[in-house]
Amino acid sequence: MRGVRIDFDAAKPIYQQIMDGLCRAVARGELRPGDKVPSQRDLALTLKVNPNTVQRAYREMEREGLLETARGRGTFITRDRPLLEGIRRRLAEEAVTAFVDELRALGLEREEMMELLRSRLESERGIRRDDDGADGEETPRPGRD
Amino acid sequence: MRGVRIDFDAAKPIYQQIMDGLCRAVARGELRPGDKVPSQRDLALTLKVNPNTVQRAYREMEREGLLETARGRGTFITRDRPLLEGIRRRLAEEAVTAFVDELRALGLEREEMMELLRSRLESERGIRRDDDGADGEETPRPGRD
Amino acid sequence: MRGVRIDFDAAKPIYQQIMDGLCRAVARGELRPGDKVPSQRDLALTLKVNPNTVQRAYREMEREGLLETARGRGTFITRDRPLLEGIRRRLAEEAVTAFVDELRALGLEREEMMELLRSRLESERGIRRDDDGADGEETPRPGRD
Amino acid sequence: MRGVRIDFDAAKPIYQQIMDGLCRAVARGELRPGDKVPSQRDLALTLKVNPNTVQRAYREMEREGLLETARGRGTFITRDRPLLEGIRRRLAEEAVTAFVDELRALGLEREEMMELLRSRLESERGIRRDDDGADGEETPRPGRD
DNA sequence: GTGGTCTAGACCACA
DNA sequence: GTGGTCTAGACCACT
């Protein structure tokens, strides 16, 4: 859960930011099938948001099948691995679609898109060196609780 | 303005969808510096939206410098080419940033991102033929967020 | 919306009672595809519940596809008639299933079930005379009939 | 007690599921007046639930008069046959009430209700053969821990 | 301590 | 005026 950061000024609602954070934590393997996620109250405290907001995020994710709640015991990552993998796939596909659609709408050709991405990844190579943590991604995490 | 499609169920506000559509039309060269854009009333009619909504879109774009209003004569794309190019650049950069950030959050490496994009562009090569390349909206699904 | 009554003492959450009431109003044809449903605030006032509670009911029904919201204009019954009919069918099927399962668990045979239902319908024939339309509740709570 | 199945994901509290299961076992004659029921510990083990949960179920049933505890000897089904029969009757009546109310809310007429039930019983005739008739819960869902 | 429901009231964005 | 989000805090039920 280390990677979840809330941007209170973002256009995206907080509860969706929480969902995104959790989805990605699972996609990255930081949270594994069957793992317990923080209690609504705990997560609310650490993120400094209202418990209701966390609850909404959890509820929506339960609807998607990502989470399962056990009355009085807590909330858990589903053990349905195919579903988890499907979510990861879907998120990646959506990212590609958004990228390609947007750039095509701007009139870029295939080669330009590839080049744009390549140069970005290249230029970031140097930058992302010391900042591992400012972004919160890509670092292997220790076991929780 | 052919490429502007309004999705009334999308999460994104309609006035922003209009702004996006216009920005992209300019970026693509479909609308050129100094061109007259449709009157607010006309655009509202063709898009079947509330005139207030078009007005808001135009107002915001005027604030950005993209549009200029000549009282009594209509509204025009600015002739400030650097500004137009800047907008295009900004949109493209934002798209790359969103793409890279999202995929990194999912744990993908540089090579995987490149590969993902390449395969998508490859697979689309045959498919996209009839639909003019003027799609421009991320998710064709209704209602969700 | 006439049939929606809230039982604040029922075990079933209020927002679900609202959902039930609306579903049934649609099933009965009282609300038709494309109809506008009361605004969250209005319904909250008439039912004397908190607007948030109505909102939750609406949100869940939107998720089910029964409702559609148009930004700033209101909330509407979906025009997807097959879906509506499907909901009606599902509700009826679930009722039958619950009935049969429960009575079978009590050891009743087919004929007994039929007889039980017949006698109930028979005995109600006289009672239900004046109160038609003022029903819409399912709770087997005290003080009825 | 063979018929008691716990659905940990169901909306209904586990202790009530236990109560339901026991009530029905008695109603079906599987458990007879004066019979000893499993100790709280044993039942908790076989159902894989928390002993507290079984305790609560037993406590509530004792309150209803269905169970009687003989200190040091165990817990027994009451010998009060009228009370047992009353419970059975009550459960059956409640089932009928729920059924009729729900279908009426959907706008069905008496004849349609009868027909709906008849067709269901008919169609099940062939299917139910192997599974002992001891199902008793509405929605069969997976999910365990 | 866990999640679930509900209220009251605030603020925002959209049409 | 419409729905959407969020907070604060209360109370409940289950384990």
Q: Could you read off the pLDDT of D64-118 as tens digits, one per residue?
A: 888 888 877 888 988 888 988 888 888 888 889 989 988 888 888 899 999 999 9
Q: In this predicted structure, what is the pLDDT of residue B135?
A: 44
Q: How far apart are the C-alpha atoms of D44 and D46, rounded to whole Å?
A: 6
In angstroms, what separates the C-alpha of B7 from chain A's closest C-alpha? 15
Residues B46-56, mean pLDDT to the nearest whole number: 84
**Residues in contact with B70: Cβ distance below 8 Å, sequence separation at least 6, in sequence order:** B76
Q: Could you read off the pLDDT of C114-131 as tens digits, one per residue?
A: 999 999 999 877 666 555
Instruction: Assess whether pLDDT exceeds 90 at residue C37.
Output: yes
Nucleotide nearest to B145 (CA to C1'): F4
Counting residues of chain B whose pLDDT is more than 90, the rounded percentage is 10
Instruction: Assess whether pLDDT exceeds 70 at residue B1.
Output: no
Instruction: Assess whether pLDDT exceeds 70 at residue C45.
Output: yes
- On whether the CB atoms of residues D10 and D16 are closer than 8 A, the answer is no
Residue C54 CA, distance from chain mean position: 15
Banded pLDDT at B127 (limits 50, 70, 90): low
Query: Which residue blocks in B4-48 are alpha helix, DSSP H?
Result: 14-28, 40-47
Instruction: Please report, for residues D3, D6, D37, D91, the alpha-carbon distance to residue D55 in angstroms, rounded to integers and kept in the order given.
Output: 19, 15, 13, 22
The DSSP call for residue A67 is E
A27: nearest Cα among A7, A48, A4: A4
SS3 D30: coil
Q: Which nucleotides of F are covered by protein (CB under 7 A)?
A: 1-9, 13-15
Per the model's pLDDT, the better-predicted residue between B25 and C129 turns out to be B25
Task: Give the containing element (helix H, strand E) for B49.
Answer: none
SS3 D126: helix
Q: Could you read off the pLDDT of B3-21 as tens digits, one per residue?
A: 567 777 677 788 888 888 8
Distance B63 CA to E11 C1' (A): 25
Count of CB atoms situated within 10 Å of the CB of B52: 11
Please tell me the pTM assigned to this model. Answer: 0.74
Instruction: Assess whether pLDDT exceeds 60 at residue C96.
Output: yes
SS3 D34: coil
Chain D residues contacting A via beta carbons under 8 Å: 8-9, 13-14, 143, 145
Q: Could you read off the pLDDT of D17-63 as tens digits, one per residue?
A: 888 888 888 877 788 888 888 888 888 888 888 888 888 888 888 88
Which residue from B minimizes the CA distance to C65? B143
Considering only CA atoms, which residue is closest to the C1' of nucleotide F14?
A72
- When mean pLDDT is compared across A11-15, B47-51, B134-138, the lowest value belongs to B134-138
Q: In this predicted structure, what is the pLDDT of residue C3?
A: 64
Amino acid at C93: E
Per the model's pLDDT, the better-predicted residue between D3 and C65 turns out to be C65
In angstroms, what separates the C-alpha of B45 from chain C's closest C-alpha? 18
C67: nearest Cα among C36, C46, C88: C36
Banded pLDDT at B143 (limits 50, 70, 90): very low
Q: In this predicted structure, what is the pLDDT of residue A34?
A: 92
Nucleotide nearest to A74 (CA to C1'): E2
Taking all atoms of strand E, which protein residues have CB closer than 7 Å? A 37, 39-42, 52, 55, 58-59, 62, 69, 71-75; B 13-16, 50, 52-53, 56; C 13-16, 49-53, 56, 71-73
Chains that touch B (3 or more CB pairs under 8 A): A, C
* Ramachandran assignment for A136, one of left (phi > 0), alpha (psi -120 to 50 degrees), beta (any other): left
The DSSP call for residue D142 is -
Q: In this predicted structure, what is the pLDDT of residue D113?
A: 93
Q: In this predicted structure, what is the pLDDT of residue A1?
A: 64
Per the model's pLDDT, the better-predicted residue between B41 and C79 turns out to be C79
The answer to whether C68 contacts B143, with C-beta atoms less than 8 Å apart, is yes
B74-77 β-sheet, strand order: B36-37, B74-77, B67-70
Taking all atoms of strand F, which protein residues have CB closer than 7 Å? A 13-16, 49-53, 56, 71-73; B 145; C 37, 39-42, 52, 55, 58-59, 62, 69, 71-75; D 13-16, 49-50, 52-53, 56
Q: Which nucleotides of E are covered by protein (CB under 7 A)?
A: 1-9, 13-15
The answer to whether D99 contacts C96, with C-beta atoms less than 8 Å apart, is yes
**Residues in contact with C24: Cβ distance below 8 Å, sequence separation at least 6, in sequence order:** C3, C91, C136, D105, D106, D107
The helices-and-strands tally (H runs, E runs) of chain B is 5, 3
Q: In this predicted structure, what is the pLDDT of residue C127?
A: 67
The answer to whether D106 contacts C28, with C-beta atoms less than 8 Å apart, is yes
The DSSP call for residue D71 is T
Residue B71 backbone phi and psi in degrees, to 5: -50, 125
Q: Could you read off the pLDDT of A59-90 as tens digits, one per residue?
A: 999 998 999 998 778 999 999 999 888 888 88
Q: In this predicted structure, what is the pLDDT of residue A129?
A: 56
Instruction: Assess whether pLDDT exceeds 60 at residue D135.
Output: no
Give residue for tokens 């006032």.
Answer: C45
Residues C2-25, mean pLDDT to the nearest whole number: 86
Give residue for tokens 């919160």.
Answer: A136
Per the model's pLDDT, the better-predicted residue between C91 and D2 turns out to be C91
Which residue from D minimizes the CA distance to C107? D28
Q: What angle do CA B61, B63, B67 make, to 5 degrees?
A: 45
- On whether the CB atoms of residues D103 and C63 are closer than 8 A, the answer is no
Banded pLDDT at B56 (limits 50, 70, 90): confident
Beta strands in chain B (DSSP E): 36-37, 67-70, 74-77
Q: What angle do CA A73, A74, A75 make, to 5 degrees?
A: 145
The answer to whether C71 contacts B143, with C-beta atoms less than 8 Å apart, is no
Counting residues of chain A whose pLDDT is more than 70, the rounded percentage is 84
Q: How far apart are the C-alpha atoms of A53 and A69, rounded to whole Å?
A: 16
* Ramachandran assignment for C34, one of left (phi > 0), alpha (psi -120 to 50 degrees), beta (any other): left
In angstroms, what separates the C-alpha of B39 from chain A's closest C-alpha? 23
Residues C136-145, mean pLDDT to the nearest whole number: 41
Instruction: Assess whether pLDDT exceeds 50 at residue C36.
Output: yes
Mean confidence (pLDDT) of chain B: 79
Q: Could you read off the pLDDT of A32-47 as tens digits, one per residue?
A: 999 999 999 999 999 9
SS3 A118: helix
Rg (CA), chain A: 17
Per the model's pLDDT, the better-predicted residue between C11 and C25 turns out to be C25
Chains that touch A (3 or more CB pairs under 8 A): B, D
Instruction: Assess whether pLDDT exceeds 80 at residue C139.
Output: no
- On whether the CB atoms of residues C104 and D135 are closer than 8 A, the answer is yes
Nearest beta carbon to residue C62 from set B8, B14, B143: B143
Nucleotide nearest to C40 (CA to C1'): F3
